[in-house]
Amino acid sequence: MSTFSARIEGVGFWADGLPSWEAARRFSLDGTLSDPAPGRPSPQLLAPNERRRAPQTVAIALDVGLAACHAAGREPSTLPSVFASTHGELGITDYICSTLATQPRTLSPTRFHNSVHNAAAGYWTIGTGAMQPATALSAMQASFAQGLLEAMAQLACGEAAVLLVAYDGSASGPLGEHARSNGLLGAGLVLSHDSNETGPVLQLSLEDGPAQPGGGRLAARATANANAMAPMLPFFDALAAGAPASLSLDAGAGRRLAIALRTGAIAMESIDA
């Protein structure tokens, strides 16, 4: 069985009421909520007009990705990236389906190009000027686990560092009845082979059997809010604790991603990042 390892150089995070990794870590440790918190991310990679028009899932993906790069001290344009989302932008998908069924000639080209699953990856490469590979994937409830596995595989194949971004937004319309998701949730990780002692070491392996994710305040809060990316949150509760930890996440098809964290001081983005 292969084991992958990497160092976590930087973390970005955004959830409703928790607009940074610092805020999320504080909440995970003692239950403190930021007050006041913005209603949606404001990704600085985009010009003001584009920032206002960008779908919420794009906004959160760019926000946490940039925050993770800032925390790691990495230039965003230099990193290959992996974008994992369970549903992508279901609000726009619902609009497209409804419009095609009722007034197909009025379909907006702009809304259409924001509906594709790699929309956030596209905005990222344009906003950062990145010429590195960008991967977009979905694996339903295993999306974060598979995104993490993909990023670690890229490291194992020779990349010096990789950015992982995981995110989901709210579902709506008839699709929302079958693919439930509420609110906004996203996180970014910069993973590397760097041997310095500035961040925790992550080790993982793919195994057969059900997941044993554990829990914490972030996981409990997101379960109540039912965001589709909530399965990633036991990992971030463990990371916030700053102590050695073992857990496993659903990797799909009866498999689990076994994760071990070895602690070290980790850089955090500022709330203004």
CA distances for 208 relative to 156, 187, 199, 205, 255, angstroms = 21, 26, 29, 10, 4
Reported as a single tens digit per residue, the pLDDT across 208-246 is 999 988 889 999 987 656 899 999 999 999 999 999 999
37 or 121, higher pLDDT: 121
The candidate with the shortest Cα–Cα distance to 65, out of 44, 48, 50, is 44
CA distance 117 to 90: 10
pLDDT of residue 270: 39
**Strand, coil or helix: 176:** helix
Reported as a single tens digit per residue, the pLDDT across 41-53 is 888 888 877 777 7
CA distance 260 to 264: 13
pLDDT of residue 111: 77
The verdict on pTM exceeding 0.85 is yes
Mean pLDDT of 112-140: 91
**Strand, coil or helix: 84:** strand
Residue 265 has pLDDT above 60, yes or no: no
Q: Which residues pair with 46 in a beta bridge?
A: none
Domain definitions of the chain by residue range: 4-268
Mean pLDDT of 137-166: 96
4-268 belongs to which homologous superfamily? Thiolase/Chalcone synthase (3.40.47.10)
Mean pLDDT of 91-98: 84
